[in-house]
Chain A
């Protein structure tokens, strides 16, 4: 079982060229907003197909991490991610939700910084 931030295509890689970031930041912001935190269950048989993932949250999220020192390679309950979403004027507003882990996942708690305008 693997929790992964996914994107629908390679738009983000194109949007992270320095020229794009500097000249069209809306393009970069929009691409980052396509991030989804998803859970995959991988088969351990060679050449098997992977079932479609399940979404762990409807919010765009990036930079997932766990309590690495204590839970690395072990089952964990909480994951820490940065949720980002953008308005048309590229106002970004960061938050750090805790996503409840095994066996059922979902948004557990969220802390938000103040929104800028």
Chain B
């Protein structure tokens, strides 16, 4: 077996339950991402794994976890599967994969090899995927790379580069984030971890939780500022209320409808001017 020590590590596995006229059909298969190929013999890619010997890594390649899998519908019968390493693939009915796995590319700043994206992705109403990578230093610096991927594309559009946790100078653990029509909200928990999973996990409650609020302009997506906010460092009464470790991050209100309306008016005005110039 791969050396899986923590619930958050492992290989993604897609389950499909189909309800039809009172009958339930079940299908499942591993997400055939690059991490899966590294961990499995080539001949096993896309097949079901049922025995322990099937887990022998191909060519002695090191095992790399690929969890952080997020599933979004991209059609009536298709789902887009994103893994924790910016990998992606699409699956159709029966958990069958439609093409070979790919990784998002295209931004000038790529995370160092092996740097995880420690969150679930989000998708806006236009179908753009929002994700981020943790940057652990090297050529990319330290911090977070926030980006979007347009529907039907594999190319990252960089939204913003955020600095590391101000108290530590390194990225801290984030599990989930949220988007509204105008903001992306990241939650920096007071936990450090390394590029290679949970063995380097360290709990530092005294630095508190940091919230990164990134404002962006919808379509075309463009970041215009970010505003870090801070939850007070751990105090006994705060610990009792529980403010430091956040996992399920559901929703942020749309505060800036006025800004969005202004953007739409400006876009309409630009389109009108373009038509006049073309004429």
A-side contacts of B124, CB under 8 Å: 72-73
Residue interface mask B219-249, A partner, CB < 8 A = 1: 0000000011111100000111111111111
Assess the B213–A44 pair: CB atoms within 8 A: yes
Q: Which of A61-69, A90-98, A108-116 lies on the face that meets chain B?
A: A61-69
Assess the B250–A65 pair: CB atoms within 8 A: yes
Assess the B240–A8 pair: CB atoms within 8 A: yes
Assess the B243–A13 pair: CB atoms within 8 A: no
B-side contacts of A74, CB under 8 Å: 181, 254
- What residue of chain B has the Cβ atom nearest to residue A38's Cβ? B242
A55 smallest CB distance to B (angstroms): 8
Most buried by A among B203, B228, B248: B248
B-side contacts of A42, CB under 8 Å: 185, 211, 213, 229, 252
Assess the A1–B7 pair: CB atoms within 8 A: no
B-side contacts of A72, CB under 8 Å: 122-125, 179
CA gap between A16 and B203 in the complex, in Å: 15
CA gap between A73 and B181 in the complex, in Å: 5
- What residue of chain A has the Cβ atom nearest to residue B234's Cβ? A9
Assess the A9–B244 pair: CB atoms within 8 A: yes
Q: How many residues of B contact A (CB 8 A)?
A: 48
Question: What class of interface size applies to chain A in its complex with B?
Answer: 35 or more
Assess the B253–A49 pair: CB atoms within 8 A: no
Assess the B203–A10 pair: CB atoms within 8 A: yes
Residue A107 lies at the interface, judged by CB distance under 8 Å to chain B:
no
Tally A-B pairs: CB < 8 A.
Answer: 145
B-side contacts of A75, CB under 8 Å: 253-254
Given contacts A44-B255, A73-B181, A73-B254, contact A64 B213 (CB under 8 A): no
Which among A12, A18, A35, A66 is the interface contact of B251 at CB below 8 angstroms? A66
Assess the B239–A46 pair: CB atoms within 8 A: no
Assess the A9–B248 pair: CB atoms within 8 A: no
B225 smallest CB distance to A (angstroms): 9
Assess the A64–B248 pair: CB atoms within 8 A: yes
Given contacts A18-B6, A36-B242, contact A9 B229 (CB under 8 A): no
Given contacts A73-B124, A73-B181, contact A63 B248 (CB under 8 A): yes
Assess the A50–B231 pair: CB atoms within 8 A: yes
Assess the A4–B191 pair: CB atoms within 8 A: no
Binding site for A on B (CB under 8 A): 4-8, 73, 122-125, 178-181, 185, 187, 191, 198, 201, 203, 205, 209, 211, 213, 227-232, 238-255
Binding site for B on A (CB under 8 A): 1-10, 12-13, 16-19, 21, 34-38, 40, 42-50, 52-53, 55, 62-66, 68-69, 72-76, 79, 81, 102
Besides A7-B246, A8-B245, A49-B229, 9 other A-B contacts (C-beta < 8 A): A6-B245, A17-B5, A18-B7, A45-B227, A46-B228, A50-B230, A66-B250, A66-B251, A76-B251
22 contacts between A and B (CB under 8 A): A2-B178, A3-B251, A4-B249, A7-B247, A8-B244, A9-B205, A10-B203, A10-B205, A13-B198, A18-B4, A18-B5, A18-B7, A34-B242, A42-B229, A44-B213, A45-B229, A46-B227, A47-B230, A48-B229, A49-B229, A50-B209, A52-B243
